[in-house]
Amino acid sequence: MPKTSLYNASSQPRPYRVIISGGGTGGHIFPAVAIANELRRRQPEAEILFVGANGRMEMTRVPEAGYPIVGLDIAGLQRRLTPQNLLFPVKVFRSVRKAGKLLEEFKPDAVVGVGGYASAPVLLAATSRNIPALIQEQNSYAGLVNKLLSRRVDRICVAYDGMEKFFPADKLVLTGNPVRTEIASGSRAEALEFFGLSPDKKTLLVIGGSLGARTLNEATAAALPRLKEAGIQLLWQTGKLYYPKAAEQAAPFAADKLQALEFVQRMDLAYAAADVVISRAGALSVSELCLTGKPSILVPSPNVAEDHQTKNALALVEKDAALLVSDADAPAQLYDQALALLHDPARQQQLRQNVSRLAHPNATTTIVDELLALMDRA
């Protein structure tokens, strides 16, 4: 039920107003948009405003999803002494002040932080005003902003067990990460036809993210003759920057169904076609692998804060739900392991069963349940 805001002198109820803050990467932006979509589905009159960091990808991706966004001049600390670091306290102060003014104008019933630079000023300003606040932490190793603000917020929705080592246990709710449920609904027959693949061959899917992953791309390029010899089909998502080179490298193997793709629009069909997946270990990639139940080899990126992709991967490996190859070992070991797994149906089935048990198909619904409960109690 719509509620009467603490800020509204009138007794007449009005639609909920929610601010969703954060971004910087697709791993933050997609959960934010998924939460907004589910809230709007259940509360069509709800007013939703995003707050992001100027110059970051959310400033274009969020409007493309149909939501307004306001930008803050905030950025993270660099790992070396730079002029930007000297300005960091000033930017934080200004961003918190701007966030406070925004809260006074928009009068939200709750604020959601999904991680990223912009979530800190908004959550600080909101909790200082006793506005209900919820954090959605995607990774198995909590981000710095979320750890610092965890004692100020009301609820923390997490995707992994054991997060009480980072957060107050009484605020935790294990929800999983918001993932497009349709990602697991692809038909294998449709997928094989869509990509022009043979039903008589095993298929390997390699995913490096929208920007690609150099280690995965170089290892895959080197392995093309081995994949041809083994009779394996390949869907190789290269990312934009590497695609021209990859397309040239894959061209001699086109007849062998070894395909380089800049971007995969129909990921549901890519997963449906795949017998085995090689992937980075970003939070959403891992959640998609759980939901689709795919045997995978995870190659965590070494270029992320707190090495959190390795920790995401280990959360699966420790439950025998995925294999792990380090970025440093990938050139020498990745395709030995990939070919061994592709030729071991029993091991594939074991991984498939174990990873499927870790899926949270109702994550977005559960997060919005928690959000609505916070607003109803305020």
Binding annotation for UDP-N-acetyl-alpha-D-glucosamine:
25-27, 139, 180, 210, 283-288, 309
Minimal CA–CA distance to 5: which of 107, 127, 119, 155? 107
Whole-number Å distance between alpha carbons of 2 and 104: 20
CB burial readout 194-231, b (16+ within 10 A) else e: bbebeeebbbbbbbbbeebbebbbbbbbebbeebbebe
Q: Are the CB atoms for 153 and 135 separated by under 8 Å?
A: yes
The token duo for 234 is 């390949």
Tallying the residues shown for the chain, one arrives at 378
- The annotated binding site is made up of 25-27, 139, 180, 210, 283-288, 309
Dihedral in degrees, nearest 10, Cα atoms 133, 137, 143, 145: -10
Query: Looking at the chain, which runs of residues are DSSP E strands?
Result: 17-21, 47-53, 69-72, 110-113, 133-137, 155-158, 172-174, 203-207, 233-237, 258-261, 276-279, 296-298, 323-324
> Amino acid identity of 233?
Q
Minimal CA–CA distance to 199: which of 138, 263, 119, 272? 272
Whole-number Å distance between alpha carbons of 218 and 214: 6
The token duo for 341 is 């797994």
Residue carrying structure tokens 């390699």: 206
DSSP β-bridge partners for residue 207:
237, 279
